Structure 1
Amino acid sequence: MKIAISNHFYAGTELSVDKLKTIKSLGFEYIEFWTMPPHINLNDEKNIDESLRLVSNSGLIINSYHAPIFKLRDDASSREISYITEIDEKERLRSVDLICRSIEVMSKSGSNLIVLHGDMKDKKRLKETKESLKKSLKEICERAKKHNTLVALENTERELPVAELKRIVDELSIENLGLCIDVGHANVFENPVEAIRTAGNYLLNIHASDNDGISDSHLHPGSGNVEWNQIAETLSQMNYQGSFTIEVKSANGIEGISLSDIKRLLKMV
């Protein structure tokens, strides 16, 4: 199992050598790269090169990357969600194009794993939303295949539990499509251990954070009520060899999220 940390840790602030050195000092070799401003501007080739060089010069390796979840705006604080589940075809295609752009850009980093959301804009039109999702996944996976990239669909909605996401992945039967189980989301919507078991062989990545089971607060693992002992046991039973990515907030500090802390949590030491 490859343990990484997301630079979402510094979401909303510019990346810097010092910030990446802090991540490196925690013992991590791998990161999941957050492909949104102000960390990277997918429309600016100079910025793209500078951002990827910054990571490379820090000694960190981009193991996976998170697809954009917001529409690109000049104002990095803009938070208008980009939905690949859009029922409006023009908007859906814009969202797909944005994700495909991130695949094209991040292929330069050497990473071959993208994590993306299937967030729902219209939860009252579940059937149409799922059809849009399936259409988008086909298009994204086709583009990703050209870059030898795996696509991991993340559990982000109560209306689309992991069992339903697995059914969709089963139905599509696309060789480079799998799942990313966000433990924090699962702890709010369902049971994290069962979610991981349900994903089974489709499991490509895990997003690890903690919470109180009510709000997705991205607490450090071990700070909420997630049963990490059970998760560790389940991953061991599955002989899971994929990625395990810490996705927490810098506001909570760095205490308790070093690589050695996470290995102890997962009973790897």
Structure 2
Amino acid sequence: MKQGISTHVFLAQRLTPGLLDALTRGGATAVEVFAARHHFDYADRGAVRELANWFRSNNVDASLHMPLFSSDEDSNWSRHTAPVINLIDLNKSTRIEAMDEVKRALESAEQIPFRSCVIHLGLKGDRWNTRALDDSMTAIEHLKAFSSPLGMQLLLENLNNEVATPAHLVEIVRAGHFDNVGFCLDTGHANLVEPQPETRDQEAKDGIAQAFEDFGDRITELHLHDNLGNRPENGKDEHLWPGSGTIDWDSVAKRIAALKQPPVGILEIAHELGEDMKQIETEFRAAWKKLGVVAQ
């Protein structure tokens, strides 16, 4: 399994080659670039060229995470800014604006050798219904037509809304016959899902076990981070280093090992933890040790 990390750990800062160097010193062989204009300005040709030169000079796989903020919100970004880009918004003009912003980020693949892009469908509170299914298929069709010539695969990520559950994402892909669309299993999001109760025919499963089962062998990428689970006093997507929350990482490691094709593992860690470069390198290696992998 490729050992990677998201630049989300540096989200409050402008992304520079020096920060990418710090990630590779920790052992990363894959980097997911988080598309936020204050961090990676994908609309700035100079910023795109700078990252393109770095990736072409280093033996590191590149992937992209779609933007979650519009350009207006991004200019006033803080760690309390809520995502606003919604590809399946009820308002058609809002959906079109969201699609255009994601396409602007995808255009950076003309220079940066991104292999994939992680896609979010919906925001917190979005409901699963026929309209959501249709709008999801329309969004994927448009983005797929735009990204495929650039050599990018779209990866749908499980979220904590009704639309982007693993089971519903699989249904969207099947209904749209999107054979070349993959999945990104986010462990932190899955850990916030209420466990399914035990039945006569089936044992109880937590959210992570159910996500692995629903996605099956179409998992292309993993977002690896921890939290304190779905306790009433918590329920937060904290993006902690593995081992700092309630996830059973031994179980996760076994499920990863059982996949037919090893996915890319991306540590997606909170940017407000206040760690310095050396601490990030140390935590990176410790995280992979928990997953039974020695960081390179």
TM-score (norm 2): 0.82
TM alignment of 1:100-115, pairs within 5 A: 100-115=103-118
Aligned to 1:215: 236
Aligned to 2:154: 151
Q: Which amino acid aligns with 1:156?
A: L
Aligned to 1:63: 62
Distance 1:76 1:109 in 2: 26
**How much has 1:89 moved relative to structure 2?**
1.7
Is the 1:64–1:113 Cα contact (8 Å) retained in structure 2? yes
**How much has 1:43 moved relative to structure 2?**
2.3
Deviation sequence 1:120-154 (CA, Å, 0-9, x none): 37635743233211210111112122122110011
TM alignment of 1:223-238, pairs within 5 A: 223-238=244-259
Aligned to 2:185: 181
Is the 1:119–1:157 Cα contact (8 Å) retained in structure 2? no
TM alignment of 1:32-71, pairs within 5 A: 32-53=32-53, 59=58, 61-71=60-70
Deviation sequence 1:31-50 (CA, Å, 0-9, x none): 10111122222322223223
Aligned to 1:120: 123
Pairwise CA RMSD: 2.3
Unpaired runs of 5+ residues, structure 1, are none
Q: Which amino acid aligns with 1:71?
A: S
Aligned length: 267
**How much has 1:114 moved relative to structure 2?**
0.5
Deviation sequence 1:63-111 (CA, Å, 0-9, x none): 2110111112371517461110122222212211222222221242112
Aligned to 2:84: 81
Is the 2:30–2:61 Cα contact (8 Å) retained in structure 1? yes
Structure 2 CA distance for partners of 1:109 and 1:86, relative to 1, 3 Å: same
Distance 1:21 1:207 in 2: 21
**4+ aligned runs moved over 6 Å, structure 1:** none
Selected match of 2:283 from 253, 257, 269? 257
Is the 2:127–2:161 Cα contact (8 Å) retained in structure 1? no
Aligned to 2:221: 205
Q: What SS does the aligned partner of 1:198 have?
A: helix
Q: What SS does the aligned partner of 1:238 have?
A: coil
Structure 2 CA distance for partners of 1:63 and 1:24, relative to 1, 3 Å: same
Aligned to 1:245: 266
Aligned to 2:137: 134
Aligned to 2:199: none
Structure 2 CA distance for partners of 1:197 and 1:257, relative to 1, 3 Å: farther
**How much has 1:262 moved relative to structure 2?**
3.1
Which one is further off, 135-144 or 59-68? Answer: 59-68
Identity %: 22
Distance 2:224 2:118 in 1: 14
Is 2:183 the partner of 1:162?
A: no
Is the 1:210–1:218 Cα contact (8 Å) retained in structure 2? yes
TM-score (norm 1): 0.90
Which one is further off, 48-57 or 89-98? Answer: 48-57
